[in-house]
Amino acid sequence: MNDVEFDKMEFRRTLGQFATGVTIITTLDSEGAPIGVTASSFNSL
């Protein structure tokens, strides 16, 4: 797995706007194909 750099404050702001419910998290894999997961609960680590 590669380390990915991101803006930590932007991440906190984004999670702070998520009230409740279901979310869909999407990204691209290493070959550029779309992948995703549906989650009913998540948190930052």
Q: What is the pLDDT of residues 5-38, one digit of tens each?
A: 878 888 888 877 777 677 888 999 999 999 999 8
Q: Is residue 29 part of a domain?
A: yes
- pLDDT over 80 (residue 4): no
pTM of the shown model: 0.42
CA 10 from chain centre, in angstroms, equals: 12
1 lies in a domain?
no
Q: Is residue 2 part of a domain?
A: no
Q: Residue 45: which pLDDT band, with cuts at 50, 70 and 90?
A: low
In sequence order, the 6+-apart residues with CB closer than 8 A to the CB of 42 are 23, 25
pLDDT band at 40 (very low <50, low <70, confident <90, very high): confident
Tally the domains of the chain: 1
Three-state DSSP state, 10: helix
Question: Can you give the pLDDT at residue 43?
Answer: 66
Coil, strand or helix at 42: coil
* Structural domain boundaries, residue 20: 8-39
Helix, strand, or coil here: 11? Answer: helix
Give a yes or no: residue 3 inside a domain. Answer: no
